[in-house]
Each structure stands twice: as structure tokens, then as C-alpha cells.
Amino acid sequence: MNPSVAPSTAEYGGDEVSAIVLDPGFSTTRAGFAGEDTPKSLIPTYYGKYSSEGQENLIFGDDVFVTPRPGLSIHNPMGRDGIVEDWDMAEKVWEYAFTSRLTGPKPGNPLHNGLNDAPEGELPTEMEGVESEEKLLADSPLLMSEPGWNPTKAREKTIEIAMEKWGTPAFYLARNGVLAAFAAGKASALVIDIGASNISVTPVHDGMILKRGVQHSPLGGDYVSSQIRALFKSNTPQPISITPHYLISSKTAVDAGQPPQAKYKTFSPERAPDASYRTLLEERTLSEFKECVVQVWPGPNKLSAAGPNGVSNEELAKSNPGRPFEFPDGYNQVFGVDRYRVVESLFDAKAAIPDPESVFIAPTPAQTVPELIKNALNGVDVDIRPHLLANVVVTGASSLLYGFTDRLNQELMQMFPGPRVRISAPGNTAERKFGSWIGGSILASLGTFHQMWISKKEFDEHGPNIVEKRCNLVIWSSSSHCSSFPSQNPTSFGRLAARVIHSHDRPRQLARILGAKRDANHLTAPAADSKKPKANGSITSFFGVPKTKSNDPKSPITSSSSSFNKQKWVASLTPEQKKLLQLEIDTLDESWLAQLKEEVVKPEFLALKRFLQKEKQSGTKVFPPEDEIYSWSRHTPLHKVKVVIIGQDPYHNHNQAHGLAFSVRPPTPAPPSLVNIFTEIRNDYPSFQRPANKGGLLTPWAERGVLMLNTCLTVRAHQAASHSNKGWELFTQKAIELVARVRTRGVVFLAWGTPAGKRVTGINRAKHYVLQSVHPSPLSASRGFYGNQHFKKCNEWLAERYGVDEIIDWALTSKNKTSAPLATIQSPASTDTSKTSAAEESDAGFPEEENNHATTEPPRSTDTADEFEDDLDALEALAATETNR
């Protein structure tokens, strides 16, 4: 069927014309009627321009590929980021998409239709009440798609064209990601769109995009084509040149790898098309090559890495049968491992084939698909991340590369081993290529969508800015509200999104597209708590591994720790690594070392060790003593951890720090923060008694499963925070994430103060119990630490999860036991207790001066105090020591 010939009226339903859906892209532009399976009009976005008889001519659609006209140059009105750069030509391309297959040519001025010609010698008569030219879309509402990062000016220009130049009676602008999710039958999804010019990752929640999570990079199908060109240039024994069909007169079959035997056409300089025309035709050959030859390495691991059996993945790839390809000039070759290399850089930036002549710069790790997904999920609320991973939608023509979804699944499983990962990637080529258009077809065909349209009257009344108010259904974070406006709100759009999934009034052909297997069970799942915005943490730290079958909290954590061969691991280290890591080898408990062995050999940690080595060589006094830096790991082996208390900086005076957060050696008295901790324990358990001589040694807690871990593990004497930002924070964060990952039955995390709170933002709160409040420092204890009942709540949760025998005994003396009987922890502490707690301290032998300070300190109205109060423990302990001298 000739795309240049307009269809007859009967082809699109006579007078019953429905809304038109336009989905413009960098490579192709799709247009069709709402309610249909696929777009009826599919044209290249490229257009041709040439001069003939002194007049500039334009060529649109597939005609651009047919004849190499003299001086024919190829242009694209779209930028590679998906944003329109040439509006005049974009308008003409889109009009051609309508008129070539949908509406037919727009009627001209009736004054010149041949029926109203004025007699010779007479002036033409004015025709009152007749439009000089009928608008192109006067009878058809228009729904257009746009990328999630489309700027405001471009959106306003789009509605101006639609309303003023095309005369559409109603208009709507929808995001690509939302439409692709709808096409997959999902109102919430993580949409991965692999297009010709870029890759985008869009989180969609209840039919609205989460703006902070939208990511995109230029590594699309055209980038893969550039990698194929780079491969051809480096081919041996001779480079491969691409000769388009229009330059081939005839060819003779040759054996694989042999030079082509072809007769070529030649054009004189004045008859030859522009170089851009040849480039476009070469791209068509490269597209065929991608469809027939290119294959994504399915994993596991990168192509350059070793497989599970120790054999290089490249060696395994070489053992696979090659794929042949014949070029237009008859040259043919069988491609082996190289067919994997050209696309590997989509997942591994280091695998990119260098090409100084390419228009694409070398990719960065942040532009690869795995990193885009990580960053996208980091930009959304932690509560909905598992739900998005369970609804991953893959769309875009370049995602049809053989093996792409297999590799994507492997990457997601490695990055996020805990939650269920489910990828929705239609096997039907049309559904994959036209995902956004199909979603628009579904949306615009719904009877309930009429409330969303922007009418011509509204446009005339409010101007083009109305598109920002009516078509800006965006959530900046999953816990914030969308833009609101009188006639529409996010709640109504969420209901409409559900209607997209459940609707019975959509056309039968769309029901066939979506299929009976798709459902919306996720819409009935408990919604994330939108009233509590949470800070975004590391995405990989949020997800844990699948639960183990063991119900014994003391059982070995994983097979990897039980099978850890420490002697063999030490033998694998380089001499420098052995020297730098001798402390870890000697003092870090083996249950922790087995899990952190990869972390301690990283460049960042080795740089930290070199820094500590210089401190030691310079004679700088560092606390805690070297052999007690990792005492927390020996007192609380990994498989015994039930509670984690997160501290900040070690105490920095003599005879204080010994490797456990908040704990001090005797005879050093407990610093004020620890005194306030004891106060709160007594609020929860009146039988609690402070250690003798006002001490603060907490090793009994550590041996009962309470991991007391400072964020920074060392400090210079008398210089608070002197070792911060040297590398300890990365290491201890990994330790926190490790506990969350391997203690699959659940752990209680106590995070006091803002810095500690940031360390637990990625913890899976469905699996673990996270308790947060202000820091127990005298600066803030009265503002929420007193009365938080964390110690009681901790034991209540442990009793429910592990049983009564596994709760924590908070007692630090042998005379009393705070955890028994269980009845003492069942009812919440009264508010009055917290209010009078300071008064009761004198009875327990607590320093009266410190209690007055804790209770009379005026509350601070800002959050800045929390930022530094974790570091005050060291100063407080020093002051307490000086006072007792």
C-alpha cells in the first residue's frame, strides 16, 4: 500500500472519526486512531531537502529512501534527547503523518477549487462566511506523547500548533513512560525504553511519573550502530565498508571473508546526493545487521568477566556458533564473539569499542542501563521500590536486540537479590516497538478520559500555559502531591489509571493486545505510606536476599561464611595488601571477614589503611587502641546480631573508646549521652540499675546480640571527627547493609540523631524494625529521646519475631534482669514517667548536675543541632573525666 496515497473514507470508519494519537520519536513518527491495535501511519522522522530549478523541495515519509536526487540532504527536526529543535519542520513532518494515511490532504481555499472561477475580465467575488482553508484536525481530538524531561516551552509550543494551526477541538499531552505502562496493563511500573537516540528509565506510580526518578542517556540504537561501525573499522584482515544499495549496479556471490565482486554506480559531483543521504542508507543496513546478527551476552556477569566455572565469558561466547551476514555489495562474514561486543557497553561502559571519529563520546558508567535503573530507584520512595521491580516494563525498538531482556533480568537479580523481579517485555514486535502509541490508543479510547481533554475553549481562555496545569501529572517524590487544578486532580487520574487496566469499554482489539493474563492485583495491594517521606538511601542497601529456611537465630548465616577458607584468602592477597590488612586478618571476627573480604581489598579501603599507617608512623595517638578497633565484631559475631545501635565518632580521650559505640572502659564514668540512655531504659524498665561506680561498659549487651557500631572507627586523640570522611563511613555502611541482608529473620535498628538516621534509610522496613529519634545528647534528649520507649519496643518486636527467650536483657549488673518477666514490657510507658524521669535520677545515683542540664536545656527550633550532636559524646566524656580528676 503506497504511504503517499491517502486512504478512502471507508478505510477509517466513514463519518465516525475518533481521536488521533501522535507519538513522535527521533527515528520514526507514529500516528493512528485511538482504539486501534497499531499506528496506521508509520513514517521516518527524517526528511529530505534538495533544490530543483532554483526552488527548495522537501521529501517526507518513505519516499526519502527511494531516489538519490542531486544534492539531496537528510535532516531531523528532533534532537537526540527527544526534544524538538526545528519546530517548523517538525510541524510539517507531523502533518505528513496525518495526511498520508489518516485524514488525507487538507482542503484548500474553495475560491480556487475550479468551481468558483471568475469570468474572464471580472474580479473574483468575496465568499463571506467561508474559511479560506479548513483546519487539518478540525474534527479530531489529538493526544500526543512526550519524553518525561520535555521542557515547558516545548510543551506550550506543541499545544499552540495543535490548537491554532491544526484546529483540533481537544488536546492532551501524555508522558511516554505512563503510556508504555498502560500498554503493558500496569498503572505502576518501572518503564525501560530503549529507543533509537536514547535510553530512558521512568518510574510510574498510579498513572503518574515520579519526576525525581526519571533517567535518560544517549546509549540508544544509534549508539549501537556507531559501535558496529567501530567494529567494522577494526575488522581483520581488512576493514568492512558499508556500500548502500543505491550504489550497487550488480554483484557476484563470494565466499565468506572474501573481497566483494560488485559493479558500482557512480554519480558526478553535480548529480550526487549529499553525504548525509548515504549515511541514512548505511543506517538501514546497520539496522538489518542488528536484527540478524547482534546479540546481548545473557550473563551471568559481564562479557569480560569469568563465568561461574572460572572460564572467561568471552571464551564461552567464542564456543557459540557464529552468525552470518551479507552486505549489499555481496561481502559476507560469520560474526562470532564480536556480535556480543558491539552492545556490551550498554551494560559495561569499559567494554565500549573506541572510535575517535564517532559522533558519540565514550560512555560513562552512569549512562549504562544498570546504573540508570539504580539512580531511578534511588529517586523514589523506598516503600514502592519493590513494587516497581515487580513491574518492570521493557519497550522501544532497540530492546528487541536478541538476549536483551535475559541480560536485563540477570543484572536486576544481581543488583536486587531480595525482592521479586518481574519483567514485562511483549514478544510481539509491534507491541514492543509501539508501546507508547498503544498506551495512548488505550487512554484516548476510554469513555472516562473526556474529563482530561483540554478543550479549544479552555485554550482560548487560559492560553498555552494551560498545558502545564492540565498535563503535568508528575510526582516529585512518591510522598508529595502533584500539581493541582480546578478540573482535575491526581486522585482522579489514579482512578482513571485503574480504569485503563480494568475497563470493559475499550475496543476488542485492545483487549486482545493486553490479553487475559494481565491483571491489576498490584492496585489492590497496600499502598505505600505517603504521609511519611523518607530520605533516599543506597538502593542496593535497601533490598535483602531471600529468606533462608533456618528458624534458629544462632544458626550460621550463609554457606559462604561457613565455607570461608581464611588461609586461602590470605594467600591470594598481594604483599602490600597483606601488610595493610594485617589488623583485619588478626582481629576482625571471621564471621564478618567472610562477608566483608571483598570490601577490604577495594581501593577506597586500602587508601584508608594507608592513611592510618601514616598516622601511626608519624607518632599520632589514635583511639581506640589498635587491637580493639574491631572489638565489636568479636563481641557480636554476625550470626548473633539481633539489635544494631549506630553511633558516630569514637571517644577521643584516654581509657574511653574500646570499639563499641557509646561504651566506655572503667573506671571512666558514663558520658552524659549514655547517662540519658540509662534514664530511658529505666523509664521502660523500672528495675534497671546503673553499673557500679557510675560506669558505662556495655560489653554485656554486645555479647547478647546488640551490635554497637560507630560510623567512624578511629579518631585522633582529643580531635573529634579527625578521621571522618577518610573511608570508614563506606566500610561501616557496608557492615550495616550486610546485617540487613544476611539476618533474614529480621533485626532491630536503633538510629538516634540525623547522621544515624541517614545510615538506615535503605533498610527494608517490611523485614526489619527501624526505630528512630533524636540523639540522647543533653542538647536534644528532652526533644524526643525521653519517652521514645525504644528499648521496650525493641523487645516486644523480638519476642514476636524470635520468641520470648531471644529478647535482650538490658541489665548491666548481675543483680537484676530487665527482660523478665515478659509482662513488664507489654504495656507502653506512661507519659508522666518520661516527664519525671530526670527527678528520679538522683535516686539511682545519677549525677544531679548532668540531669539538670538535660532537662533544662531549651528545645531548639531547627534541625541543625542533630547534624553535630553525635560528635559531642567525645567532648562530653572528656569533660566528665576532667571533672572527676
**Mean pLDDT lowest for which of 1-15, 135-149, 458-472, 703-717?**
1-15
Instruction: Return the higher-pLDDT residue of 541 and 45.
Output: 45
Contacts for 872 with CB less than 8 Å, ≥ 6 apart: 673, 777, 779
State how far the Cα of 436 lies from the Cα of 193, in Å rounded to an integer: 9
Per-residue pLDDT, 2: 41
Q: pLDDT band for 54, please (50, 70, 90 cuts).
A: confident
Per-residue pLDDT, 542: 31
Per-residue pLDDT, 125: 56
Catalytic residue among 222, 348, 383, 649: 649
Per-residue pLDDT, 408: 95
Per-residue pLDDT, 818: 60
782 and 868 in contact (C-beta within 8 Å)?
no
Beta pairing partners, 325? 333
Tell the residue number behind the cell numbers 535497601, with chain if given. 542
By 3-state DSSP, what share of the chain in percent is helix, strand and coil, each rounded to 5?
Answer: 40, 15, 45
State how far the Cα of 76 lies from the Cα of 86, in Å rounded to an integer: 8
Per-residue pLDDT, 835: 34
Number of other CB atoms surrounding residue 827 within 10 Å: 8
Q: pLDDT band for 552, please (50, 70, 90 cuts).
A: very low
Q: Which three cell numbers, joined as nine digits, stand for 69? A: 536526487
Amino acid at 131: E
3-state secondary structure of 592: helix
Percentage of the chain surpassing pLDDT 90?
61
User: Would you list the DSSP string of 684-728?
Assistant: H-TT--PPGGG----HHHHHTTEEEEESS--EETTBTTTTTTSSH
Instruction: Return the higher-pLDDT residue of 392 and 875.
Output: 392
Segment 57-99, tens digit of pLDDT: 999 999 999 889 999 999 999 999 999 999 999 999 999 999 9
Per-residue pLDDT, 700: 94
Per-residue pLDDT, 814: 60
Burial of residue 355 (CB within 10 Å: 0-12, 13-18, 19+) is: middle
pLDDT at 288 exceeding the cut of 60: yes
pLDDT at 531 exceeding the cut of 50: no
Instruction: Return the higher-pLDDT residue of 822 and 292.
Output: 292
Instruction: Return the higher-pLDDT residue of 824 and 799.
Output: 799
H helical segments located in 490-589: 490-502, 508-514, 539-542, 559-562, 566-571, 575-580, 582-587
209 and 357 in contact (C-beta within 8 Å)?
no
Q: Classify domain 221-362 by CATH number.
A: 3.90.640.10
From the candidate CATH numbers 3.50.50.60, 3.90.1150.10, 3.40.470.10, 3.30.1490.190, the one assigned to the domain spanning 622-802 = 3.40.470.10
pLDDT at 32 exceeding the cut of 90: yes
Per-residue pLDDT, 106: 62
Number of H helices, E strands in the chain: 33, 26
pLDDT at 554 exceeding the cut of 80: no
**Mean pLDDT lowest for which of 208-222, 389-403, 847-861?**
847-861
Per-residue pLDDT, 669: 92
Contacts for 632 with CB less than 8 Å, ≥ 6 apart: 659, 660, 661, 702, 707, 708, 709
pLDDT at 851 exceeding the cut of 70: no
Q: Where do the domains of the chain lie?
A: 221-362, 622-802
* pLDDT average, residue stretch 239-250: 93
Contacts for 202 with CB less than 8 Å, ≥ 6 apart: 148, 175, 176, 177, 178, 180, 190, 191, 193, 209, 213, 214, 215, 376
Catalytic annotation present for 505: no
* pLDDT average, residue stretch 685-712: 93
Per-residue pLDDT, 541: 34
pLDDT at 252 exceeding the cut of 60: yes
pLDDT at 428 exceeding the cut of 90: no
Q: pLDDT band for 108, please (50, 70, 90 cuts).
A: low
Per-residue pLDDT, 126: 56
Segment 616-627, tens digit of pLDDT: 999 999 999 999
Global model pTM greater than 0.85 = no
Per-residue pLDDT, 745: 87
pLDDT at 854 exceeding the cut of 90: no
User: Would you list the DSSP string of 532-551?
Assistant: S------HHHH--PPPPS--
**Mean pLDDT lowest for which of 37-46, 224-233, 417-426?**
417-426
State how far the Cα of 74 lies from the Cα of 46, in Å rounded to an integer: 7
Segment 644-671, tens digit of pLDDT: 999 988 988 888 999 999 999 888 999 9
State how far the Cα of 235 lies from the Cα of 256, in Å rounded to an integer: 14
Per-residue pLDDT, 493: 53
For residue 856, CA distances in Å to 779, 788, 839, 842 come to: 10, 19, 12, 16
Q: pLDDT band for 783, please (50, 70, 90 cuts).
A: confident
* pLDDT average, residue stretch 800-818: 81
pLDDT at 348 exceeding the cut of 70: yes
State how far the Cα of 773 lies from the Cα of 782, in Å rounded to an integer: 11
Instruction: Return the higher-pLDDT residue of 133 and 408.
Output: 408
Instruction: Return the higher-pLDDT residue of 310 and 360.
Output: 360
Instruction: Return the higher-pLDDT residue of 556 and 169.
Output: 169
Per-residue pLDDT, 103: 83
Q: pLDDT band for 693, please (50, 70, 90 cuts).
A: confident
Q: pLDDT band for 823, please (50, 70, 90 cuts).
A: very low
Mean predicted lDDT score pLDDT of the chain: 80
Instruction: Return the higher-pLDDT residue of 762 and 494.
Output: 762
pLDDT at 313 exceeding the cut of 50: yes
* pLDDT average, residue stretch 16-39: 90
Check whether the bond before 363 is cis (ω within 30° of 0): no
**Mean pLDDT lowest for which of 260-274, 383-397, 463-477, 555-569?**
555-569
Contacts for 180 with CB less than 8 Å, ≥ 6 apart: 189, 191, 193, 202, 393, 395, 435, 436, 439
Per-residue pLDDT, 367: 95
**Mean pLDDT lowest for which of 18-22, 147-151, 493-497, 688-692?**
493-497
Using CA of residue 830, residue 836, residue 840, residue 846, what is the dihedral sign?
positive
For residue 820, CA distances in Å to 554, 681, 800, 804, 806 come to: 21, 14, 15, 9, 11
Q: Which three cell numbers, joined as nine digits, stand for 687? A: 528495675
pLDDT at 884 exceeding the cut of 80: no
pLDDT at 198 exceeding the cut of 80: yes
